[in-house]
Amino acid sequence: MGVPMGYAGGVPVQHQPQKRPSHPSTPNDIAGPSGLPVVPAGGGALGAPSSDTAHPRCLCPVYPFKAIKERLGIEGVGAQNATSGQGNETHCPGCLCFVCEVPATECQGWTRLGHCHASNKDPYWKALKVFTQTDMLSKSPLLTALGCDEGACIEANRWCVNGLLGFHRYRDGDVGPGGVITHSFLHVADVTSSAMKAIVKHLSGPKGPRATLAVLDGITSAIVVNSYKPDPAQADSSKHKWCSSTFLAYKAILEQLEKYWVLTIAHTSTRCVPPQALATMAERLRHLTKLASDQVDGNNPPSSHVPLAHAISVCERGWTHPAMVQILEGQCSDRSFCEAHTVQVARLHVLERAQRWSEAYHYSMFHGLFARSLAYMVRADRSQDVLPLVQRQSALAQGAQCVPVCAELVRCGQVDRGVRLAMFCAFGDLGRDQSAQNRLPYMQWLVEYVTGQLDPNEVAVRNAHGAPSSSIEAARHDASEWARQVSPRLSEALLQPLAPPPFGSIYSNATFMAERVAVLCFTLTPQLSLPCAKLFSHQGDNCGACSILAQGGISDPGLMSWAVTDLIPKMGIQSILPAIQGWTYAGVPMSIRNALANALTEAGQHSEAARVRNSADVGEEAAEGDEVVELPPADFDVGGGWTP
């Protein structure tokens, strides 16, 4: 921008540059612009102002100054027609503009921009004075290079002045009880937060990156030319309270602004910003970085990141940079071109919005974001390559990295491939890391998905109290047969589409899928039978939990205890009765055995109840101090609950 900007009623208005003093006025520089001695705005050694001395309008001895909140004057009121008005617009020959430091007769913003109302008692006018007399703020080369229109320049300057105003209020402080002045950095943080909201609005709006960069330039300039540090003269004063965490807040603001710089520059293309503007932008950012570094450096511990450095890097390496072109084409192997995480997030955000899936895949692979690259493979119509890749590199399944990939496959209509990928990650050979921590997220996703496919009528039938229906029994049988065939070579079997239910089946594909997940869990990962059963129950499919218990051969004390206390009261002992004959009770508390035996007795299974009661481990009574006592029969039928 080539000219300074002013403000009227909070809205900046452009005006022409004015002749300024060759150097700032000080008590020692007593020759004013009109050849008159100068009286500083705060008074000074020269004594009281008079019409023979140059003085700010707010100290005029001829026309009393009235502090008002107006930002506009009355056009036509001045020294030539002083009798027409007695407001701040009226001035004597010695009056100076507080903002511009030129005679009132030469100030082009005297009434149009309300400079006649300016005083050193108002933080707004102090902020505007700093802005007007600081070329780095009022004459930003970036706004000119971007070709910003008047509206964009006005908004950029408004946010700059607002930022300066926030710092003035921070340094002036707020007077509290006992006259203690609290210096809150929230004044600065609130302005920055509002500016960031405007940035987000512009970035997604019709004005795009150009208007966003203009606002960023304004607010960032205001932040870096100011200091978070307390006034040394007031830092140790009992009358001034300075927050100790101000530096952290200042640093956090810089970091957040840098993220918006990076994202905005990544959204920038030569179609909306001239190429030469990128060079100007990089130089401007270097200047801002130096000012920010002067504030951040010297702290304990020192910062490991140079402020705004990532913004400079993404500015210097645009989308058409040779190295970036090679990365996006999957032809770059030079790891020195790897970009910072902040830049990676911004570039992938741009690529996703443009649906450039192939380039997003290559970019994420180059930066080691392997699991994320799998989702881009799906969107790039390469879903058939995902499962073979994960099988070859099973480390991709660790840390639930492939859970979003499973969801993405389903979202793109590749349901079978999504389920097969989840089955491999939950039940397949994961190489050296076979921990439950890596398997459970996929098991949870599978259970949530397959139970979500059941219609309400199926859920009602599956959760019916008592013995399972013939359709459920048939589904369990067919699922067990399928699992027996695929389990020995699961990885190879999952490369092929999942077989549908046998022809003529009396159950749905959703039921068959739920039963297959249950039988795979018990067959291939028996140590996870309990959490898997709980997942089914939590999703409202208690029948799925029963399907795990119905496999027979259960010896997990925790699983049996949970079944007796939580599942059997809901589904009835008949729901798992055939499988109980294969249970072994080593390590199962006697109270659980007695409760199960009572339920069996109530169901007329007296011989099995006796086996349960008499299956105590050798020496268990001595160890536990329990006595085998036959409890009263349990009632499983009252209200569907279990009352011992």
Same domain, 289 and 232: yes
pLDDT at residue 74 in the model: 44
Residue 149 CA to residue 198 CA, distance in Å, equals 17
Same domain, 68 and 177: no
Contact at 8 Å (CB) between 620 and 590? yes
Same domain, 507 and 577: no
* Structural domain containing residue 43: 1-124
pLDDT at residue 296 in the model: 82
Q: Which residues of 569-591 are buried (b: 16+ CB within 10 A; e: fewer)?
A: bbbbbbbbbebbeebebeebbbb
pLDDT at residue 271 in the model: 60
The helix (H) or strand (E) run that includes residue 142 is: helix 141-146
pLDDT at residue 638 in the model: 35
Any domain includes 210? yes
Same domain, 202 and 310: yes
Strand, helix or coil at 4? coil
Distances (CA, A) of 443 to 182, 207, 422, 437, 625: 55, 46, 7, 11, 39
Residue 582 CA to residue 477 CA, distance in Å, equals 17
Task: Provide φ and ψ at 170, rounded to 5°.
Answer: -65, -45
The helix (H) or strand (E) run that includes residue 620 is: helix 620-624
Contacts within 8 Å (CB) and 24+ apart, 315-319: 315/265, 315/278, 315/281, 315/282, 315/285, 316/282, 318/268, 318/278, 319/269
Contact at 8 Å (CB) between 544 and 517? yes
Any domain includes 218? yes
Contact at 8 Å (CB) between 634 and 598? yes
Closest of 18, 102, 14 to residue 56, by C-alpha: 102
pLDDT at residue 270 in the model: 58
Two structure tokens written together for 71: 């930002």
Last residue of a domain, one of 518, 551, 584: 551
Any domain includes 237? yes
Same domain, 542 and 558: no
pTM for the whole thing? 0.70
Same domain, 522 and 404: yes
Residue 137 CA to residue 131 CA, distance in Å, equals 6
Same domain, 509 and 390: yes
Same domain, 2 and 89: yes
Contact at 8 Å (CB) between 21 and 38? no
| Chain mean pLDDT for the chain | 82
Distances (CA, A) of 429 to 296, 440, 528: 50, 14, 15
Angle made by CA atoms 609, 612, 617, in degrees to the nearest 5: 160
Last residue of a domain, one of 124, 156, 177: 124
DSSP conformation class of 21: -
Same domain, 415 and 519: yes
pLDDT at residue 294 in the model: 85
Residue 593 CA to residue 591 CA, distance in Å, equals 5
The total number of structural domains that make up the chain = 4
- For 544, residues 6+ apart whose C-beta sits below 8 A from its C-beta are 447, 451, 462, 514, 515, 517, 518, 533, 536, 537
Residue 204: how many other CB atoms lie within 10 Å? 12
Two structure tokens written together for 89: 């617009």
Contact at 8 Å (CB) between 212 and 202? yes
Two structure tokens written together for 499: 């077989």
Strand, helix or coil at 357? helix
The helix (H) or strand (E) run that includes residue 96 is: strand 95-96
Q: In which residue are the tokens 């609950």 written? A: 641
Contact at 8 Å (CB) between 511 and 462? yes
Same domain, 180 and 287: yes
Last residue of a domain, one of 516, 551, 586: 551
pLDDT at residue 10 in the model: 38
Contact at 8 Å (CB) between 396 and 402? yes
Chain-centroid distance of CA 539 in Å reads: 29
Which residue numbers in the chain have pLDDT < 70? 1-51, 70-86, 270-272, 298-303, 431-434, 552-553, 616-644
Angle made by CA atoms 367, 373, 376, in degrees to the nearest 5: 135
Contact at 8 Å (CB) between 281 and 315? yes
pLDDT at residue 102 in the model: 93
pLDDT at residue 236 in the model: 73
Any domain includes 322? no
Same domain, 199 and 87: no
pLDDT at residue 644 in the model: 34
Residue 506 CA to residue 464 CA, distance in Å, equals 17
Question: Which amino acid does the sequence have at 407?
Answer: A
Same domain, 188 and 285: yes
